Structure 1
Amino acid sequence: QERATFDIFIKTVKRLYPEYMTGIEKIERGSIQYLCNMFVMKKELFFEYSEFCFAVLKEVDRQIDHNEMSTQGLRFLGYLGEFLLSIFIFNLKAKGGYRIKELNGSYILSDTPVLHPRLSYWGYWVLSKLTFGAIKKRYKQKRKALKQIRHIQNK
């Protein structure tokens, strides 16, 4: 089913936007892709990309039978959108005249900020001086734990 969906997608892009053949060919035979639909671009370029992207996705969605798809499979338009961004960027590169900066993505495992251990140690020291009771005790314990970690790391 995924291959059939991808084939419909490629045929749709070729039919609606034949000028994007360079990008389509790179997607079909290559291993480079721009993931997560992350970009920063000028407003005019964004509108051009959006028009391209949503016209293709609307047409592909119209042609696909959703009844047999898994929950993960129902997210297919999101995956195809990533391919469309890649096709769009490949075409911009082929045209030339655009400054394109590529950066690595980062995956954040936790929303807890991680501070440099030495900075954390002194931060907990200050907080232990400014607070009272159980909170003060907790900051002292955290400072002590960081001191032990630093001692182990220095061995």
Structure 2
Amino acid sequence: MLVKVYGSAVFGIEATTITVEVNIDKGIGYHLVGLPDKAVSESSYRISAALANNNYKLPGKKIIINMAPADIRKEGAAYDLTLAVGILAASNQIQSENIGDYIIMGELSLDGSLQPIKGALPIAIKAREEGFKYLIVNFNRN
């Protein structure tokens, strides 16, 4: 099943919406494409532990995740929650009828709690400009 969820890349004071396509199919494997850096590529380990510690599971099938546009570098662990929600939606572990109304960003701890991310304000501004109805982020209040 193919699901599209949305995140955001922040460069200085500007944000760009990132479309995360998650496809789950027959087979085995985890493939992340779309110019992710090392921290984004390592997200599968954080996501797997966070899901397991919250009674969800990483499907034992072939998971292909595309982060578009592919020519923009995706950096940091702030995409963990975006990817995790996409995996849960594509594997029918959560209801996702209105998932396209959300921008979702957050770094996952291994227990599933969220770590703060940087750039929440530019993400919120861009989300509003593009007509998204909801924003899920955890930002640092300090």
- Fold conserved between structures, TM > 0.5: no
Q: Which one has a larger percent strand, Structure 1 or Structure 2?
A: 2
State which structure, 1 or 2, has the greater radius of gyration over its C-alpha atoms.
Answer: 1
Greater length-normalized contact order (CA 8 Å, ≥ 6 residues apart): 2
The normalised TM-score by structure 2 is: 0.27
Calculate the TM-score normalised by the size of structure 1: 0.25
Which structure shows the bigger proportion of residues in helix conformation? 1
